Amino acid sequence: MEHAMKKYFDELVNSTAELLKFDSSLKPAEGEYPFGKETADCLAYFLSLAENMGFEVHNYDNYVGEVIFGKGEEFAVLAHLDVVPAGNGWTYPPFGGVINDDVSAGGVTGKKLWGRGAMDDKGPAMVCLYALKALKDEGFKPRRTIKLIVGCNEETGWKCIEHYKKAAHMPDEGFTPDANFPVIYAEKGILHFTSAFEIKNAPFTALKAGERANMVCDHASAILTRKAAEKLVGYENPIEGTTLSYDNTTNILQARGRSAHGSTPQRGANALQALLCFLAGLNEDCAFAYDILFNDSANLQELQDETGALTMSPDVATFKDGVLKITTDVRFPATYAKETVTERLEQAGVSYEIANYQAPLYNDREGELIKTLSAVYNRATGKDEQPIAIGGGTYARALKCGCAFGPEINGEEDTIHQPNEYITFDRLRLLSEIYYDAIKELTKPNYTRIAWIKTKYEK
């Protein structure tokens, strides 16, 4: 029997391609556009599409929007339309919405849709909208008010969620299609800290690295002193996956690496590490910074529990008035408090400020939400996988009982936050089936939700 979503597939692909054409990375606020006009245009396109499908929609001041379906106790599907900057190294335009079956860039056969946001999170958001359309068209009557909430600032601060909670009512329960399958029962705590290192007799006059705290740094550069440049002769860069190049005319040393999500630094190659490693051999203050941030002399990475070990990714750096400031993305185990991390930094003599903090999320693995979504995924794939924990931070933290659910599948190529992000047609088909079934199961007339047992970890 064909799945109910099959007849909507071509329309889904075309709508997603159009959505990918908006560069909805963070821009300076201008008037009524808190994250830039193009991000607001992206939201307007999505909501207009939903309205034409016959849904009630709301745009809350271009911060966030929602699509409403059904009546009763509220249930949230939280997605986002903003994206991280495109970065370098794309084969196809990052905001082109290109469709083809090229295997040279992705290494995967079959048709693909290329663009920043294809997997994170425009593709899944559009799938969820078409799942609501399919349910509506077939006459499904949910016993809950389904709110498909689409934010515009998930990647850089969550101001969209803060605004939504002031302008509307956030449901207690729901999921976000913005992480991994089979289903995420726990998320590590997130701590971005900016450390300040005084560099005496600096071997450089300027230094800059990275774009976003949650993206592994793929480009770093410094203007070297003449004496420092002489040390490049015979130097061999030990950081795998990175390259160094020097311009004798400008005295600029450039480091190139490979970006990845800040929660999985092992999947990238940090250009700042390559640059600072060279400088550490010339200056003891640089060596101290390198030891703290890359050699982990504060012993932060020994912290671990069932949700995994602490990870750290120093991703953004600037140099001014003799002070090197580096912002580091830390994901710490869900059963620890942030003070465990900050106390170790202080003991190591690091001067720092907290730039961003999100408490860990810890759900009951046997709760009805986790069990239902796990069953939906395993039924669609024929697998028997168990709930997992991740280092990423998702909108699930905005809910009393929330979890992340797809779209990534462990063991398959991860292109989120990387050049040549794409989603395959096969993945779109699978997501269509899974999200349709999940929403239907969790909102059907005879669904009963057990009380939350342990939704967030409390220290």
CATH number at residue 421: 3.40.630.10
Together in a domain, 168 and 280: no
- Read off the pLDDT of residues 225-245 as tens digits, 9 standing for 90 and up: 999 999 999 999 999 999 999
Together in a domain, 117 and 216: no
- Read off the pLDDT of residues 423-458 as tens digits, 9 standing for 90 and up: 999 999 999 999 999 999 999 987 555 433 334 433
Residue 172 lies in a domain: yes
- Read off the pLDDT of residues 344-379 as tens digits, 9 standing for 90 and up: 999 999 999 999 998 999 888 888 999 999 999 999
Q: 224: part of which helix (H) or strand (E)?
A: strand 219-224
| Contact in structure between 179 and 405 (CB atoms under 8 Å) | yes
Together in a domain, 142 and 198: no
Q: Which residues pair with 331 in a beta bridge?
A: 190, 311
Together in a domain, 305 and 242: yes
Percent of the chain at pLDDT above 70? Answer: 97
- Read off the pLDDT of residues 31-89 as tens digits, 9 standing for 90 and up: 999 999 999 999 999 999 999 999 999 999 999 999 999 999 999 999 999 999 998 89
Rounded to two decimals, what is the model's pTM? 0.77
pLDDT for position 391: 84
Residue 336 has pLDDT above 60, yes or no: yes
> Which structural domain, as residue segments, surrounds residue 270?
189-358
Domain boundary among 358, 379, 409: 358
Together in a domain, 104 and 249: no
Q: Measure the CA–CA gap between 251 and 225, rounded to whole angstroms.
A: 7
Together in a domain, 350 and 374: no
Which residue in this structure is represented by tokens 């003599």? Answer: 349
Residue 96 lies in a domain: yes
Domain boundary among 304, 331, 358: 358
Together in a domain, 176 and 199: no
Which residue in this structure is represented by tokens 């810890």? Answer: 362
Spatial neighbors of 410 by CB under 8 A, at least 6 apart, are: 180, 181, 388
CA of 102: how far to CAs of 99, 112, 114, 120, 429, in Å?
9, 8, 10, 20, 19
What is the average pLDDT value for the chain, to the nearest integer? Answer: 94
Q: What is the mean pLDDT of residues 109-118?
A: 95
Residue 457 lies in a domain: no
Q: Measure the CA–CA gap between 381 and 257, rounded to whole angstroms.
A: 35
Domain boundary among 358, 374, 394: 358
pLDDT for position 412: 86
Q: Measure the CA–CA gap between 263 and 212, rounded to whole angstroms.
A: 12
| Contact in structure between 356 and 213 (CB atoms under 8 Å) | yes
Together in a domain, 128 and 269: no
Residue 450 lies in a domain: no
Nearest to 403 by CA among 110, 181, 122, 141: 181
Percent of the chain at pLDDT above 90? Answer: 86
User: What CATH number has the domain bearing residue 234?
Assistant: 3.30.70.360
Q: Measure the CA–CA gap between 455 and 451, rounded to whole angstroms.
A: 10
Residue 74 lies in a domain: yes
Residue 26 has pLDDT above 50, yes or no: yes
Together in a domain, 159 and 11: yes
Residue 458 lies in a domain: no
Together in a domain, 232 and 353: yes
Together in a domain, 230 and 108: no
How many independent structural domains does the chain possess?
2
Together in a domain, 125 and 235: no
Residue 1 lies in a domain: no
